[in-house]
Amino acid sequence: MARTDLAKIHIAKKDLGLDDPTYRALLQRVAGVRSARDLDPAGCRAVLAELRRAGWTPKPPRRAQARTLASDPQARKIRALWLALYDAGIVRDAREQALAHYAQRMTGVARLEWLDTHQAARVIEALKRWVARTATAPET
């Protein structure tokens, strides 16, 4: 049994508010064991299914939750310029996190959606100058 499955069982126990005797009775009834550590993969699946039937719904991992991107025109322009630099081979990392880090170094603001109009304009102009420099740079 995977450690993540064991963790899910214990999280479900806590979320459902099961006391220890009730939890142990559920394990015995569903899988024939008194401890989740003794579950085989089939027993683990059965216990998780029973916990879901009892009302537990697993939450997605925090990393899996998508962050909403800034969608105002200035943020879209910043992102487009950044991706143009990436396509040209100038920027090595096209991820939103790298762009946010670049903008933070310029403005002190951690996320694009938190930039005010003036700060966003500064980032746009800096990226435009960077694009222009690389477009006129001689090939080596």
Domain's final residue, options 63, 81, 96: 63
d(CA 34, CA 117): 61
Mean pLDDT score, 27-52: 92
Query: Given this model, what pLDDT does residue 72 score?
Result: 87
How many helices and strands (H and E) does the chain possess?
A: 6, 0
Query: Given this model, what pLDDT does residue 71 score?
Result: 80
Query: Could you tell me if 114 and 82 lie in one domain?
Result: yes
Query: Given this model, what pLDDT does residue 134 score?
Result: 83
Domains held by the chain: number? 2
Over the stretch 77-121, which tens digit does the pLDDT of each residue have?
Answer: 999 999 999 998 999 999 989 999 999 999 999 988 899 999 999
Query: Given this model, what pLDDT does residue 77 score?
Result: 95
More confident site: 61 or 95: 95
In a domain, 68, yes or no: no
Phi, psi angle pair for 28, to nearest 5° = -65, -45
Question: Residue 11: CB partners within 8 Å, gap ≥ 6?
Answer: 58
Given the structure tokens 């015995």, which residue do they identify? Answer: 28
Query: Given this model, what pLDDT does residue 124 score?
Result: 96
Domain that holds residue 57: 3-63
In a domain, 89, yes or no: yes
Domain's final residue, options 63, 85, 100: 63
